[in-house]
Amino acid sequence: MEKNRLLLFIFSFMPGAGQMYLNMMKKGIVLMTFFCGIGFIAAFFNIELLLFLLPVVWFYSFFDANNSGHLTYEERIGADSDFMMGLYQMASGDTKNVLKKGHAFLGVIFVLLGLYLLFDNVFRDLLWSLDNYLPGFRGIFHKFPTLLIAIFIIVWGIRLVKGEKPTEKPVDFKEYEGDKHE
């Protein structure tokens, strides 16, 4: 069944609604939940840093809905199932491997994010009052998120330049060479 292109365009402005209009309910619900969830978490926990993800999700949803409008009904249903299968595989298998390999890296990100939240939400007023005694302190603290991102980018760049360390394979067994009688 051919969908109305004008209605698809209008529904595409709300992340996930265009996909739902195209009967891609699973993908639409995931995109809508992701978009609204990011907005809620950013607002509730006062993490403005997460707001950069909202345009990314919005643009993806908008263009995906408009591009999916050219597919047949069967192709859209298949794409919806493939999307969910990809999410399931990512959540069940790949995430575990990523967490095993990069748990220290992920831990550093969580620590930095926690420190940022602590300072931004708890100590901000206290630090603003110090500006009377230490002129320019407010400007430095205001740039703190940018400083964290800069440090993150530098550390990530250094890791990329160094590359992965070659790992030695542990010797599980030693092959039996027979009796050495000379």
pLDDT average, residue stretch 64-85: 89
Predicted structure pTM score: 0.56
Q: Which residue has the higher pLDDT, 88 or 174?
A: 88
Domain boundaries, the chain: 5-95
Distances (CA, A) of 118 to 37, 47, 102, 110, 144: 21, 11, 24, 12, 12
Q: Is 171 left (phi over 0), alpha (psi -120 to 50) or beta?
A: beta
- Chain-centroid distance of CA 162 in Å reads 24
What pLDDT digit, counting tens, does each position of 11-43 carry? 999 999 999 999 999 999 999 999 999 998 888
Residue with tokens 């060479």: 177
